[in-house]
A and B are shown apart, each in its own frame.
Chain A
Amino acid sequence: MSQQSVLYDVPGPRQRRLTLIGSVVATVLLLAAAYFLVYRPLDDKGQFSMELWGPLIDPSNENFSLVWKRIGTGFQNTLTAAALAIVSSLVVGTLLAVLRIQLKSLTRRRFTGLATPLAYLLRGLNMLLSAVTRVCVEVFRGLPVVITIFFVARGFPEFGVSFDTLWYLVIGLTIYNSVVIAEILRSGMEGLPGGQAEAAAAIGLSPAQTTRMILLPQAFRIMLPALISQLVVVLKDTSLGFIISYEETLNIGKQIIGALDNPIQVYVVIAVMFILVNYSLSKLAQYVQRRLSRGRKTAGTPAQNPPPAALASQSESNGQGI
């Protein structure tokens, strides 16, 4: 909202009057559009009848408690899957990021103290591992998460490993999101000023110690907003569980619709629930971001921003899951 004062002058009396008129006209037009394009067709089809809404909003309705108990179960399942997926993708993602940073620094090492063939072997091995992780990241980042979940649910039984559907969903989400989180953390670590790692090396920390004690904590801090918006993505993506018939909110919603035949009403309720939870998470991300930037200023340290373009593109792409 800060740019708006840049794009146009602070309005004078005439401009204020014009804006007011414009506002009134726009409001009237919008309300008319909402009435004629949304309310009227809905009403014509009888979508506001108590018969359809009753089970969802009227406590005296016979189905009310049953319906909400089912929705509660569904939401609980959604949150369980999301929590498990978040924790495991954070762990796997962090490990992957550290691994990739380590491999990258190792590929630059020449192993001069060792015999020549051994040194070449080690270098080759490093390069191979580095390439393999790179390919894994590119592949899993480029695949739709729906496909990943679907493949996990279809593929694991094929190889004789079968779990509860919850675990297919969690594994599928973890594969996709851990790769994304690894990339977020890696770009956070690479965005740090080179002096950080140099200073750590100068006081005698090993590369592993440098990553663990110096780079990773700072990367977490800088990338916290991007990480939180990735959590929103995970929560949204758990709704894909319906594809492998995991009993999450949407799937339960489908069952309710099967029984009561009120699709629009049930989806409105479910959508509102998702929006409320995700919106508060996004607000949390904004709050964290503000606090972090303020903290950095008051501490008087030079701003250690990651490359702005990288951060912007990261958080943009991360905001968008399914």
Chain B
Amino acid sequence: MSVLIDKFDVFAGGFWLTLQICVLAAVGALLLGAVLAVLRISPVPPLRAVGTGYVNVFRNMPLTVVMFFAAFGLPALGSNADFLRVPGLDAVFSRLDTDLPYFRFALIALVLYTAAFVCEALRSGVNAVPAGQAEAARSLGLTFGQNLRYVVLPQSWKASVVPLGSVIIAMIKNSALVGFFGVVGDLSQTADQLTSAEGYAFVPVAIGISIGYLIMTVPLGALLDRIEKRQAVAR
């Protein structure tokens, strides 16, 4: 078990990098997913079609394929994903600024993939708002935009917190994949590095990595259970 103590900085570094990816991807996916959700419920048919098409494509494609597209397709197109180097952000998330392989590509893949699920979670929240609410708003003469802004979205937000949380948990777990696409130093890559290249015993490394992921996923899951229970009571 000494590897857990000797290499604690490696584990901690992996955890920190995974956490960075997760935070960035969560923010990106929430923004893109919200846009998609608005597209999917908008009155203009082509926009609806785009939203639906996007969700169907990305929900049915393995994340692995999305990652491959981002990691090998984008460079083939000559893109370095430079647009992710937002001036203020790269001061906080230093990896955005550097050109270590595939960090930004992996981020793009994770955002594109997760956004489809975020969109569906938000939409399920919209569906959960009783139809009478929107009808009442319409009968007061609110337009589509006002209806959405003042009546439906504030309520749907409440109903979509739990599904959104599940999506984020799934995303944290999915982020483990980036280590296998050459993002140096994330938790899953740490496991590979320590066991195969440096020849540490398998079990302690496995335990360390598992603890790293469980720290991120289990408390969030427990929190969601609690929110869900409270909502059930409120109903």
Which residues of A come within 8 Å of B, CB atoms?
2-4, 6-9, 11, 19, 22-23, 26-27, 30, 41-42, 45, 47, 138-139, 141-147, 150-151, 154-155, 158, 232, 236-237, 239-240, 242-243, 250, 253, 257, 263-264, 267, 270-271, 274-275, 277-279, 282, 307-310, 312-313, 316-317, 319-322
Contacts and interface: CB of A to CB of B under 8 A. Distances in A.
Interface of B: 41, 43-47, 50, 56-57, 59-65, 68-69, 72-73, 76-79, 114, 117, 120-121, 124, 126-128, 131, 134-135, 138, 143-144, 147-148, 152, 159, 162-163, 165-167, 169-177, 180, 188, 191-192, 195-196, 202-203, 206, 209-210, 213-214, 217-218, 221, 224, 228, 231-232
Given A236-B62, A263-B73, A316-B163, A151 B131 contact: no
A143 B60 contact: no
Nearest to A9: B138
B149 to A, nearest CB: 12
Q: Say whether chain B's binding surface is mostly helix, strand, loop, or mixed.
A: helix
A317 B120 CA distance: 11
B144 A7 contact: yes
Contact of A41 (B77, B127, B214, B224): B77
Contacts of B171: 320
**Most chain B CB atoms below 10 A, which of A242, A274, A313:** A313
B177 A146 contact: yes
B173 A143 contact: yes
Contact of A30 (B50, B217, B224): B50
Given A147-B213, A239-B64, A4 B43 contact: yes
B167 A144 contact: no
Contacts of A144: 172-177, 188, 213
Contacts of B120: 316, 319
Contacts of B206: 151, 154-155
A213 B44 CA distance: 50
22 contacts: A3-B127, A19-B44, A26-B44, A30-B46, A45-B77, A138-B214, A139-B210, A141-B221, A143-B213, A144-B172, A144-B175, A144-B213, A151-B206, A154-B202, A155-B206, A264-B72, A282-B59, A312-B162, A313-B228, A316-B124, A317-B167, A320-B59
